[in-house]
Amino acid sequence: MASFVQYPADHPFPIQNLPYGVFSTDGVASTRPGVAIGDFILDLDAVSRSEWFVDAGVEAEVFQKGTLDPLVASSPESWPLVRAFITRLLSPTSPLKANARAYLVPRETATMHLPITIGDYTDYYASYEHAYNCGVLIRGPENAIQPNWKHLPVAYHGRASSVVVSGTPFHRPTGQILDKVGDKQPIFAPCRRLDYELELAFIYGGAPTKLGSRLSPSEARKHIFGYTLMNDWSARDIQTWEYVPLGPFLSKNFCTTISPWIVSPEALEPFKTKQYDHDPKLLPYLDDPEGFGFDVPLTIEIKTPESGAYAHVSTSNTQHTYYTFAQMLAHHSATGCPLRPSDMLGSGTLSAPRPDGLGSLLERSKMGREPFELDASRKDMTFLRDGDSVKFSAVVKAPGGWSVGFGECEGTVLPAVPFEG
């Protein structure tokens, strides 16, 4: 399958990918939904107002509200129709070819925005390797995995208001920490253990569920609109002090970054892989015999202000969730919690079972006890310093020869805001 838009064979945004995003351009006040194709963005708002908008699977106004929310809220049955429509529109025989300039925006001229208006945001803890690594660091290998972990996808509610799009810098958080281990009196000081967490987020779409209703994994899977890269920036020292007994709060809600592109389940079909074996067996409400993972490598790079160039840190993989995404959603609805379109759910840190596959600095530096060499500019890396940038990316090659990319999830640490008390 080809497109009239030209791009190299290994381009992350070929016609087989078609990730959704929201963009704006200079001189136009409003944001518009679009689809990445090669080095361009197909302007879906413009398309929806054109004569080419025929058999699109949804009404034109779905693309005229400035966000992807109306598409996400549309029936899941419509999503493949919209994808087929866009594929036709970008095919070599498309009538759009002669009018491409009116509908295709060079990506380098666009500013990307949060693609959806996140209602509720939930974060899981679903990577066995990450849970095991953290458990070993905190409790030792004997008790690394806690009793509930292999029975349910542990999760907490996150903060939707602090989710930002890739490229948004944020200040090092200031909060209550213990100056020395064993102190009883905390201090209010800039975080000293600022970390990232490599995650894959997914978006709930379609009709909301009602209070008290429950989805099976196979029902839940149909509601997954797409996937995006996520960095759940974490303040480890603030977390250690605050999280007893109700879980992380300020240590997680100062910034969460997502990539601007949402990759559809259909684009990820070629990368399906076997799900984890579950021993002990999961309870029947989590039964997901058709469940699968995705084999998509995820890379982490860090750029120090001294070097100015990204250095590779880890390569993990989206397949490292012990629970399928459908099981995570099914569990979420088990007690009757309503799910609403544009809810976002994070996988939790995705660590691979290799020293060079760890999804956080906590694991990589063994809680800061084992500094490592990032590059010539940072030979004693433990946690993030001011000016450091972190970039997650994912590009995977399909058996058919094309590549599928997720775009980038990037952020830079600004100095803490001084406290003038």
Q: Which residues are annotated as a binding site for substrate?
A: 125, 139, 239, 243, 349
Residues forming the annotated binding site? 123, 125, 139, 197, 199, 232, 239, 243, 252, 256, 349
Binding mask 329-348 for a copy of itself (x = CB under 8 A): --xx-xxxxxxx--x-----
Name which position in 254, 271, 325, 383 contacts a copy of itself (CB under 8 A): 254
Q: Which is nearer to a copy of itself, 56 or 350 (CB)?
A: 350
The yes or no reply on residue 287 touching a copy of itself (CB under 8 A) is: yes
Counting beta carbons within 10 angstroms of the beta carbon of residue 386, is it exposed (0 to 12), middle (13 to 18) or buried (19 or more)?
A: middle
The yes or no reply on residue 367 touching a copy of itself (CB under 8 A) is: no
Residues forming the annotated binding site for Ca(2+)? 123, 197, 199, 232
The yes or no reply on residue 249 touching a copy of itself (CB under 8 A) is: yes
Task: Tokens for 170, please give them.
Answer: 């944020």
Name 292's bridge partners: 274
Name which position in 60, 84, 144, 152 contacts a copy of itself (CB under 8 A): 152
Cis amide linkage into residue 70, ω under 30° from 0: no
Contact segment (CB under 8 A) with a copy of itself among 6-14, 140-148, 362-370, 390-398 equals 140-148
Name 224's bridge partners: 204
Q: Which is nearer to a copy of itself, 244 or 309 (CB)?
A: 244
Q: Which is nearer to a copy of itself, 252 or 391 (CB)?
A: 252
The yes or no reply on residue 248 touching a copy of itself (CB under 8 A) is: yes
Name which position in 100, 136, 145, 154 contacts a copy of itself (CB under 8 A): 154
Q: Which is nearer to a copy of itself, 89 or 155 (CB)?
A: 155
Is 130 a known active-site residue? yes
Residues 291-320 that bind a copy of itself (CB under 8 A): none
User: How far is it, in rounded angstroms, from Cα 230 to Cα 248?
Assistant: 17
Residues 201-220 that bind a copy of itself (CB under 8 A): 208, 211-214, 216
Pairing of strands 272-274, 292-294: antiparallel
The yes or no reply on residue 224 touching a copy of itself (CB under 8 A) is: no
Contact segment (CB under 8 A) with a copy of itself among 173-181, 269-277, 290-298, 395-403 equals 173-181
Question: Of the candidates 37, 20, 97, 107, which has an alpha carbon nearest to the alpha carbon of residue 342?
Answer: 20
User: How far is it, in rounded angstroms, from Cα 257 to Cα 21?
Assistant: 15
Q: How far apart are the first and last CA of the chain?
A: 62
Beta-carbon count within 10 A of 70 CB: 18
The yes or no reply on residue 136 touching a copy of itself (CB under 8 A) is: no
Name which position in 160, 311, 367, 398 contacts a copy of itself (CB under 8 A): 160
Q: DSSP assignment of 344-369, as one string?
A: EEE------SSGGG-SSHHHHTTTTT
The yes or no reply on residue 238 touching a copy of itself (CB under 8 A) is: yes
Name 385's bridge partners: none
User: How far is it, in rounded angstroms, from Cα 407 to Cα 404?
Assistant: 9
3-state helix, strand, coil in the chain (%, to 5): 20, 30, 50
168: left (phi over 0), alpha (psi -120 to 50) or beta: beta
Q: Which is nearer to a copy of itself, 17 or 360 (CB)?
A: 360
Catalytic residue positions, numbered: 130
